[in-house]
Structure 1
Amino acid sequence: MNIYVLIVMAVLFWSGNFVLGRLVSPEIEPMQLALFRWGLVLILLLPYIFLHQKVIFPAIKNNFLILVLLSFLGVTGFNTILYFGLQETTATNSLLINSSIPIIIIVLNTLFTKEPISFNQIIGVFLSTLGVIFLVIKGDISNLINFEFNKGDFWVILSSITWATYCILVKYKPNKLKAFEFISIITLLGFIMLFILYFLMGNTVHFNFSSTVYTSILYMAIFPSLFSYYLWNRGIMEIGANKTGQVTHIMPISGSILAYIFLGENLERYHFYGIVFIAIGIYISLFYKSKKSS
């Protein structure tokens, strides 16, 4: 299957995670949701870890620092830091800031890994970022003018940098590790760190939730965690972090459509304009150059 289709599938699964996260938010705290999500992922992977223990545990021992770093960035840190930010900022602010992730990836990649970036990529990221901003401000420039920066936004910025850093560094994972061996390792190490952090913060665990919460956790564990991380990591390894990162801008589109279907939210004219900018930007960045050269 085409690698771009696989990356889009990863983003679609993450969009479903966003919609379900909003759906169950009145019942369960975000950090406990993250703990249950990754705990279930670990449970699902335990048979695989057992069968591949002769590869997994020596790999952890021999590559401890980079694997712990990737586990913290991709599993523990990103989720936890974003949780802090969402406590003190608005959804609009967080979406605006998260739209900068592809830009952060390009900047960090250029500074630290010297991965080349084309003029088409710059123009494409610029246009798709405009599309995301247009969606977030709902086509009303006054919403952007009235943007107020608060301390929660600093946490959201840090979470964006954390995820962008993961996207850049994941190519330095041990080459001998197969895809699910790597996912098993970052899930194991990431959950251990998340578990410790959760209780160090004085949190307690509750289980009296509705079936909707548990069904949502099951979805989050299988699709946005297992499948999305596998597809996303594969995309980075095949086409690089710069191009893979830009597909993140599809998330507001798919999120809006899923919110319309499952949450009853309306689709407005500004959605169409935002989608057009995002689609043109992604096309220019990912496909236009190869078509021209061919």
Structure 2
Amino acid sequence: MLATVGCVVLITKGNLAILTRLKISFGDILMLLAAISFSVYAVVQRIPKGMTHVEYLFLMIFVGLVALLPFYLTDMFLGNSLSDNLTTLSYILYLGIFSSLVAFYLWNRSIGIIGSMQAGVAYYLLPVFVFLIDYIAFRTKLKNLIVSSFLLIFGGVMIIHFTRHEKRTN
């Protein structure tokens, strides 16, 4: 809860009244649903008995491809096709190899090693890493509000990290 408060303080710049003036778009709703579904997946996901991590990875890839096939076929039917240039190919390879294959494998291994509770805590640190990138790239100034938010986030992460949790075996 403490880390969540830190994120909310950071997003609202310390002015909670901003939350009442938010305009929510369809994309925001989709992202919220994606975040909720991923959190449920991360907590309840278990590798079936007798299946290795690599086998499970390929099962998930197959299920994902089957789920995306109707959308791809609809796009093709409507006359949309992938451009066959080097830029498009590099995007597909990056997304397919690093953002999907490698990330999925490492995420599931981390859940297997440290448990879903500890692995999920990493998401609270995203604002910190984004700020560090922003600071390095654009020399963004460190303000008291950012420091306060980060202290709340780190406090929440430390509480979760040092609280004993049962690690589920996959």
The answer for the alignment partner of 1:204 in structure 2 is 80
Larger Rg: 2
1:36-185 maps to which residues of 2 (within 5 A)? 126-171=1-46, 173-185=47-59
Distance in 2 between residues matched to 1:222 and 1:267, nearest whole Å: 35
- Which structure has more relative contact order (CA 8 Å, sep 6+)? It is 2
RMSD of equivalent CA atoms? 3.0
Q: Greater share of helix residues, 1 or 2? A: 1
In structure 2, the residue matched to 1:233 is: 108
* 4+ residue runs over 6 A deviation: none
Give the Cα separation in 2 of the matches to 1:215 and 1:161. Answer: 30
C-alpha distance 217-271 of structure 1, shift in aligned 2 (>3 A):
farther
Letter in structure 2 aligned against 1:207: S
- Extract unaligned runs of 5+ from structure 2: 166-170
The 2-side partners of 1:206 and 1:265 are apart by: 38
Q: Partners of 2:129 and 2:89 in 1: how far apart?
A: 23
What is the rounded CA distance, in whole Å, between the counterparts of 2:90 and 2:11 in structure 1?
A: 28
What CA distance in whole angstroms lies between the structure 1 residues aligned with 2:43 and 2:79?
A: 32
CA distance in 1, matches of 2:149, 2:93: 31
Aligned AA for 2:19? Answer: L
The percentage of counterpart residues that share the same residue type is 25
Amino acid at match of 1:194: L
Could you list the per-position Cα deviations for residues 188-228 of structure 1 after superposition, in whole angstroms to 9, with x for gaps in the alignment?
Answer: 220232132233364722326674x6555544333332232
Aligned residues: 162
Q: Is the 8 A contact 1:235 1:244 kept in 2?
A: yes
Aligned counterpart for 1:275 among listed residues 141, 150, 161: 150
Question: How far, CA to CA, are the matches of 1:161 and 1:277 in structure 2?
Answer: 23
Q: Give 2:20's aligned amino acid.
A: I
Per-residue CA deviations over 1:41-84 (Å, capped at 9, x if unaligned) read xxxxxxxxxxxxxxxxxxxxxxxxxxxxxxxxxxxxxxxxxxxx
Q: Unmatched 5+ residue regions in structure 1?
A: 1-125
